[in-house]
């Protein structure tokens, strides 16, 4: 990289004020053009998040929506420290050239410290739980069922689950957990996948058969040419009579590559993430009572035949001509409070720091979540007038959301009547039947 030299200041001792004004404009334009090749992102950041504006950091940065990465922020900061000429050029490119040099230099060091702090602030605000440690399969999980249909990759961090005419397959975490962050990068089967369900979920149904808790990611297969759909659900204290399902499309093909799916679970909140974008937030309310998951749960991942309900209510079934159906899991994260399975005592003192786990949704994330739901949500139990004449008490009705869903499906979300059909319930505790 070629070092920059500062443009000499023009001594305006001539009587032609027009000449002086044009020269100032030329200086400013040249300096901007010379700065741009060094770091376009940094220049854009300065323009939108200017700590020399006289405003507070929060005010001067509020319009900047493309944060610098940690690495680019730090390298840019070092560049500024070691190149006074660049510091001077950057500063005067955003300030009137008529200001005195000593005023510029007096504010430059403090100003760029504020710039660095501002860039780091935005970098950290966009931070996600993806920085959490990945656990090798053997350290955190054990096969659940499927025999040879479960294959652990040589690196120990990836596992393939397959479904064929003989059986599905699945794995389960060694430990029970009470709250935390749990995620996996998943690549789903391609082509004709009707009737196939891939599930990534938490449950304690093996311990509390009549009052179990559950937090679900379910991926519902489809016929050729139709997209996979995601379904999320929450049960607490055996409240399976109140399904809290939501269903969505995606902005990508989940069979083309790996994508990250995560669950944050605290004592008051559950957040579902797709590629670090929150897609659903469940907040505990008094009216939910014990319906909010509150007992220790184990993490499961399975692939299985759900022909009876998964695709168009059972209209399209699994076609084993296309088997085996293979779901790939990698980058497995178990970051929570492990619980002794016998004494049910939480071992949180030995748990990793929860500082990397988001405790809430940031304003920027909330905008992304609202945009996702507006574009991709196709079902929400809160608006299902066939199942619930009165929405469950925890539902917060959004009139725009309700209208959009009503147009999408006027029978389910409007005032029409559904044609006769059975309501499908299913049990994913497949281990007990195999």
Provide the Cα torsion 123, 85, 89, 47; round to 10°.
0
Give the separation between CA 155 and CA 328, rounded to whole angstroms.
Answer: 13
Q: How far apart are CA 358 and CA 373, in angstroms?
A: 20
Q: Are 311 and 222 in contact (CB under 8 A)?
A: yes
- Phi, psi (deg, nearest 5) at residue 226: -110, 150
- Rounded Cα distance, 99 and 383, in Å: 61
- The single residue of 214, 246, 328, 394 carrying the catalytic annotation is 214
370 is catalytic: no
**CB 216 within 8 Å of CB 201:** yes
Residues pairing with 160 in the sheet: 151, 328
Q: Is 214 one of the catalytic residues? A: yes
- Other CB atoms within a 10 A radius of the CB of residue 393 amount to 11
Q: Length of the chain in residues, anyone? A: 434
137, 156 contact by CB (below 8 A): yes
Say which of 218, 246, 328, 401 is annotated catalytic: 218
In angstroms, rounded to a whole number, what is the distance separating the alpha carbons of residues 67 and 120? Answer: 9
Dihedral sign, Cα of residue 418, residue 421, residue 423, residue 425: negative
Phi, psi of 248 (to 5 degrees): -145, 155
Active-site residues, by number, are 214, 218
């Amino acid at each position: 990289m070629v070092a920059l030299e500062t443009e000499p200041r023009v001594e305006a001792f001539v009587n032609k004020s027009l000449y002086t004004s044009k020269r100032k404009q030329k200086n400013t334009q040249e300096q901007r053009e010379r700065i741009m090749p060094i770091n376009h992102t940094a220049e854009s950041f300065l323009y939108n998040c200017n700590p020399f504006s006289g405003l507070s950091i929060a005010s001067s940065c509020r319009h900047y929506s493309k944060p610098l990465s940690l690495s680019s922020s730090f390298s840019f900061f070092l560049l500024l420290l070691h190149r006074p000429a660049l510091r001077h050029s950057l500063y005067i490119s955003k300030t009137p050239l008529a200001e005195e040099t000593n005023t510029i230099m007096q504010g430059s060091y403090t100003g760029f410290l504020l710039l660095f702090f501002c860039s780091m602030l935005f970098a950290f605000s966009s931070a996600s739980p993806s920085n959490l440690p990945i656990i090798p399969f053997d350290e955190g999980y054990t096969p659940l069922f499927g025999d040879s249909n479960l294959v652990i990759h040589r690196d120990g961090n990836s596992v393939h689950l397959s479904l064929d005419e003989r059986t599905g397959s699945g794995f389960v975490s060694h430990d029970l957990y009470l709250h935390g962050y749990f995620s996996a990068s998943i690549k789903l089967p391609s082509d004709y996948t009707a009737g196939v369900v891939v599930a990534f979920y938490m449950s304690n149904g093996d311990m509390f058969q009549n009052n179990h808790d559950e937090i679900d990611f379910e991926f519902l297969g489809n016929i050729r040419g139709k997209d996979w759909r995601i379904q999320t659900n929450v049960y607490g204290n055996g409240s399976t009579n109140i399904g809290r399902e939501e269903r969505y499309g995606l902005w990508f093909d989940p069979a083309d590559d790996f994508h990250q799916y995560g669950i944050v679970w605290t004592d008051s909140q559950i957040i579902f993430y797709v590629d670090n974008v929150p897609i659903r937030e469940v907040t505990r309310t008094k009216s939910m009572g014990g319906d909010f998951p509150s007992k220790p749960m184990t993490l499961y991942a399975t692939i299985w035949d759900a022909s009876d309900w998964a695709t168009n209510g059972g209209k399209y079934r699994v076609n084993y001509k296309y088997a085996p159906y293979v779901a790939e899991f990698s980058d497995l994260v178990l970051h929570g409070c492990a619980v002794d399975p016998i004494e049910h005592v939480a071992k949180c003192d030995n748990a990793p720091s929860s500082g990397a786990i988001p405790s809430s949704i940031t304003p920027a994330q909330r905008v992304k979540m609202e945009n996702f739901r507006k574009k991709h949500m196709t079902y929400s139990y809160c608006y299902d007038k066939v199942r619930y004449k009165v929405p469950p008490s925890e539902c917060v009705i959004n009139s725009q959301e309700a209208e959009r869903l009503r147009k999408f499906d006027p029978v389910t979300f409007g005032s029409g009547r559904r044609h006769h059909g059975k309501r499908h319930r299913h049990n994913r505790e497949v281990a007990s039947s195999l």
